[in-house]
Structure 1
Amino acid sequence: MNTVKHLKGSNLQPLRKKRFTFWNKHHLACAVLASLLGSYLDLYFIGKKMYQFPFRPLPEIFSFNIAFTLVGLPILVVVFLYCMSQVNQWGKAGIILFVSLLMPIFEKLAEELGWFVHSEEWKHVYSFVGYLVFLSIITFYFLWLEKQK
């Protein structure tokens, strides 16, 4: 096995191994933003009677599903941002579009399981557009934070 050693007289810096990081302070900031946005959007749409969460933790205190908004959504956002950091600009756009297209499907599944109920006026295209905007905001915020390094 051959090993390459750094020359003693060389002015070049030795290459540092890049550490694998799945979670950093920018991911945490974006997870908090996602949780806040998700909470406020849920409060708004529940107040407008557009949808409701029949089964949720602490229903006498919270009208929205805090398990999803405060735990599930931030975890999913961190996974989303990790995937976004692995692709180029077109890949980022593709991931945002793909995830936004998946959300109405997941909503229908949640409705079938009784976790989510929409009003008659609700159209699932609202979810597609909403997640498209939501994920774009999270992505732009993350990219802005990364640029500030």
Structure 2
Amino acid sequence: MKTWMERLLMPIAKHWRKSNGPSWHRKKYFLSNRNGQHSFWSYVPAMIFSSWLGTYADLVFVENKMYSFPHRPFPNLFSFNIAFTLFVLPLATAFFLYVAEQLKRSFRALLALLIAFLAPLVELMSERVGWFVHNSGWRHEYSFFGYWLFMWLVWNFHIKCKKIHV
């Protein structure tokens, strides 16, 4: 015969796998919220990666005199536009990743192609304003393929970060 304390501590029912209750067996992913959905913080590693990747790409291209930034913040310190690589690029990356996560694979590829197609057009507009200057040997197809490769790398980095187990 069990004592009243043993009966009180005895489990009444087994845990059902598909229940919403807490479970130690359920997979937990890095930077996800309680529902398993990814919050804004899940985009931060990819935003930092995109900023880093954009900064180094700009450093390489500016040093090789492929393009330059005549109007940039802190021109004595940086040869590239630090505002673009620290603010615009990470925020645009977070927006791209959010939209891309909502789409099916084929539409995600179309989105990346659309953005890669629009990148040279934005570069041409920024050249007319005076923010950006390419050298005479630059071809805007480089921008198309460069931005497509950039988005592919950032997307794959984001997917890898989402799968990291805690």
Fold shared per TM-score above 0.5 = yes
Aligned residues: 139
Is the 1:22–1:82 Cα contact (8 Å) retained in structure 2? Answer: no
Q: Which has the larger radius of gyration?
A: 2
1:76-115 CA-partner distances (Å, limit 9, x unpaired): 0000100011011112111111110110000001001100
Inter-CA distance 101–51: structure 2 relative to 1 (3 Å threshold):
same
Shift of 1:147: 2.4
Q: Which residue does 1:28 correspond to in 2?
A: 44
TM-score, normalised to structure 1, is 0.85
- Unaligned runs of at least 5 residues, structure 1: 1-10
Alignment counterpart, residue 97 of structure 1, candidates 113, 138, 159:
113
Q: Which residue does 1:70 correspond to in 2?
A: 86
Output the amino acid matched with 1:88.
Answer: K
1:52-73 CA-partner distances (Å, limit 9, x unpaired): 0000000010000000011110
Matching of residues 10-89 of structure 1 within 5 Å: 13=19, 23-24=40-41, 26-89=42-105
Alignment counterpart, residue 108 of structure 1, candidates 124, 145, 157:
124
Percent identity over the alignment is 36
Distance in 1 separating the partners of 2:40 and 2:105: 21
Shift of 1:21: 6.0
Distance in 2 separating the partners of 1:33 and 1:14: 34
- Unaligned runs of at least 5 residues, structure 2: 1-15, 22-33
